[in-house]
């Protein structure tokens, strides 16, 4: 896959996964482990619990979405 934006939630960065995202234009990783292999590939790293971050992101998107 070659997305413009890839956001990985709780992904450690094993080669089987990263081989498919390496050509993404922008890679964002959300992970509690700042030493996870995916951080080396990421353009942006968010060191936080992925579930908590995703819940807040969804809440924010819903509050800002248009009817």
pLDDT tens digits along 17-66: 788 888 899 999 999 999 999 999 999 999 999 999 999 999 999 998 77
- Note the pLDDT of residue 32: 94
Helical H runs in 4-67? 15-21, 38-41, 50-64
> What is the count of structural domains for the chain?
1
- Tell me: pLDDT of 1 over 80: no
Enclosing domain of residue 18: 5-64
The enclosing domain of 40 has a CATH number of: 3.40.50.1220
User: Could you tell me the CA-to-CA distances from 6 to 42, 62, 63, 67 in Å, in that order?
Assistant: 9, 20, 23, 26
Structure-token pair, residue 29: 């990783």
- Note the pLDDT of residue 13: 82
Whole-prediction pTM: 0.81
- Report how far residue 29's alpha carbon sits from residue 13's, in angstroms, rounded to the nearest whole number: 9
């Amino acid at each position: 896959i070659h997305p413009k934006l890839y956001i990985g939630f709780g992904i450690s960065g094993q080669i089987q996964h990263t081989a498919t995202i390496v050509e993404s234009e922008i890679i964002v990783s959300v992970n509690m482990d700042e030493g996870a292999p995916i951080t080396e590939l990421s353009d942006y790293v968010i060191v936080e619990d992925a579930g908590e971050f995703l819940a807040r992101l969804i809440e924010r998107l819903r509050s800002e979405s248009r009817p």
